[in-house]
């Protein structure tokens, strides 16, 4: 009898301790994620939504380390001072555990020192400047090791962006016109291509990120006899440039990189003038089954926001936050140094929406899936096909067709 009562008492105490542990976990403070981005721009809004989707996914599966995740959002309006003020508020007033956002390279550059000084994780969701990873982590690893990104830097992304040029050269075209926006992120790209294709470039120019009329530039492209026009922009010139390219009947294929051209509705927006235009995108948010996570994410995004993902930033931001959460789970804590160690593991093995991350390399860029070390993780090159659907032609693993010269361009080139 007494033994029986003792057994029940021990079991009861055990249950009580168990319940207390759960209650303790439930009442633990939330893990805070700061989101610092520009919401009035498609790229910035994409990064914000990626973070929102990640927070929803984490909290929907029970939180992180048994704790709820809380997002604290600030709109920096693409202003460096606003971005710095927001960063300082997140660090010292809101006391966040990590900060994500930074679709714009210039803002990532100015905010990084503040975050590194506070020894918090900086999770980059879109900025491609090589300064914050390629340069600063290499130069001063101890200070800058807390920076991670799922958006490869410009030097690496260039490999994807130049696939259109390379395919054009294989098709026998050989006079290149470079029409590239004047922005920090594409300075290295422009300089590199001017050297790489020096003996084939017949015309080159830079334009303002706010430009929407390219009549003079395109007239020059035509006058110089270019048959490959490399057009690079993340500004608003994407859509009008395509319309003008078609309306002015420029006898050159349109390759390069344009954020506007990533819009799933681009054929409708341009009234089908974009057919034949080449751009690149993060495949996992383009309706392509890059990983088993890709399509469910694509559909969930549509359910939540009423439209399919447009800017690539939502995918890289989502995977960046989720990869950090994976690192936190591996570390068993949100302590930045422990998380950095966990995220640097060679068997990190996180399956994201944009691709698998086998590990983060020495400059904290992701490696895995169809992309090796030094390759533009997550990126595919595609051309808008005749039926208004994108035809992926690179990388090989996800290829579903060849890049072609649009019929009307061929006709114009004969004249």
Partner 1 sequence: MEKRAGRIEGPARNERARMVQTVIFFGVIWTALYCLIAFGFSLLFGVAQVLNLTHGMIIMSACYVAFLLVTGLNWSLGFSLIGGVIGSVLLILIIYLGFIKKLLTAPHTSMLLLTAGLANAIQQIVILTVGPQNKFVPTMITGGTTIFSVVLSNQQILSVIVAFGLVVLLVLFFQRTRMGRAIRAVTQDRSTASLSGINAEEMYLVTIMIAGVLAGVAGLLIAPIQTVTPEIGWEMMVTAFTVTILAGLGGPIWGVVVAAAIVAYAEIITAFLIAPTLKEGAAFVIMILTLMFRPQGLFGKGRL
* Residues binding partner 1 (CB under 8 A): 39-42, 45, 182, 205-208, 210-217, 219-220, 222-224, 236, 238-240, 243, 247-249, 260, 263, 268-271, 310
Structure tokens at 120: 């918090």
Nearest to 77 by CA among 126, 41, 38: 38
Shortest distance, position 224 Cβ to partner 1, whole Å: 7
Q: Which is nearer to partner 1, 40 or 387 (CB)?
A: 40
CA dihedral 241, 312, 76, 340 (to 10 degrees): -140
Q: Which is nearer to partner 1, 261 or 353 (CB)?
A: 261
β-strand pairing of 278-282 with 253-258: unpaired
Shortest distance, position 133 Cβ to partner 1, whole Å: 27
Shortest distance, position 104 Cβ to partner 1, whole Å: 14
Nearest to 179 by CA among 211, 154, 204: 204
Shortest distance, position 296 Cβ to partner 1, whole Å: 23
Q: Which is nearer to partner 1, 114 or 229 (CB)?
A: 229
Q: Which is nearer to partner 1, 53 or 342 (CB)?
A: 53
Shortest distance, position 246 Cβ to partner 1, whole Å: 9
Shortest distance, position 36 Cβ to partner 1, whole Å: 17
Shortest distance, position 198 Cβ to partner 1, whole Å: 21
Q: Which is nearer to partner 1, 181 or 351 (CB)?
A: 181
Alpha-carbon distance 378 to 258, whole Å? Answer: 16
How many CB atoms are closer than 10 A to CB 178? 24
Shortest distance, position 212 Cβ to partner 1, whole Å: 5
β-strand pairing of 356-357 with 390-394: unpaired
Shortest distance, position 50 Cβ to partner 1, whole Å: 15
| Measured CA distances, 192 to 135, 278, 406 (Å) | 17, 20, 27
Please say whether the beta carbons of 291 and 352 come within 8 A: yes
- Residues near 336 by beta carbon (within 8 Å), at least 6 away in sequence: 98, 119, 120, 121, 146
Length of the chain: 415
Q: Which is nearer to partner 1, 38 or 340 (CB)?
A: 38
Alpha-carbon distance 310 to 296, whole Å? Answer: 16
Q: Which is nearer to partner 1, 170 or 249 (CB)?
A: 249
- Tokens 């949100």 -> residue: 334
């Amino acid at each position: 009898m007494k033994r029986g009562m003792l057994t029940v008492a021990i079991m009861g105490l055990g249950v009580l301790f168990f319940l207390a542990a759960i209650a303790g976990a439930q009442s633990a403070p939330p893990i805070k994620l700061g989101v610092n981005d520009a919401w009035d721009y498609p790229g910035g809004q994409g990064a914000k939504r990626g973070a929102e989707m990640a927070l929803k996914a984490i909290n929907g599966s029970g939180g992180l380390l048994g704790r709820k995740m809380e997002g604290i959002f600030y709109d920096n309006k693409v202003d460096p001072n606003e971005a710095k003020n927001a960063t300082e508020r997140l660090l010292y007033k809101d006391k966040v555990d990590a900060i994500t956002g930074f679709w714009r390279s210039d803002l990532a550059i100015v905010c990084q020192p503040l975050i590194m000084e506070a020894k918090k994780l900086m999770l980059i969701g879109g900025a491609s400047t090589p300064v914050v990873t390629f340069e600063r982590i290499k130069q001063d690893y101890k200070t800058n090791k807390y920076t991670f990104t799922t958006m490869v830097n410009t030097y690496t992304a260039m490999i994807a962006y130049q696939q259109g040029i390379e395919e054009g050269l294989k098709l026998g075209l050989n006079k290149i016109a470079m029409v590239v926006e004047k922005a920090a992120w594409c300075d290295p790209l422009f300089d590199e291509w001017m050297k790489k294709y020096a003996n084939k470039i017949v015309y080159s120019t830079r334009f303002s990120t706010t430009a929407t009329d390219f009549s003079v530039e395109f007239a020059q492209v035509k006058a110089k006899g270019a048959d490959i026009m490399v057009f690079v922009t993340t500004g608003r010139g994407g859509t009008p440039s395509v319309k003008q390219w078609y309306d002015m009947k420029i006898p050159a294929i349109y390759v390069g990189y344009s954020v506007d051209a990533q819009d799933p509705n681009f054929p409708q927006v341009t009234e089908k003038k974009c057919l034949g235009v080449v751009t690149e995108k993060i495949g996992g948010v383009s309706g392509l089954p890059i990983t088993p996570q890709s399509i469910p994410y694509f559909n969930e995004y549509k359910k939540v926001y009423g439209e399919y993902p447009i800017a690539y930033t939502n995918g890289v931001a989502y995977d960046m936050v989720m990869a950090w959460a994976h690192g936190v789970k591996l570390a068993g804590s949100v302590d930045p140094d422990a998380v950095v160690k966990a995220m640097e593991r060679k068997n990190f093995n996180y399956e994201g929406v944009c691709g698998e991350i086998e590990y983060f390399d020495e400059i904290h860029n992701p490696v895995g899936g169809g992309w090796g070390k030094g390759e533009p993780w997550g990126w595919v090159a595609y051309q808008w096909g005749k039926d208004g659907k994108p035809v992926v032609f690179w990388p090989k693993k996800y290829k579903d067709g060849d890049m072609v010269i649009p019929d009307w361009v061929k006709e114009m080139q004969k004249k």
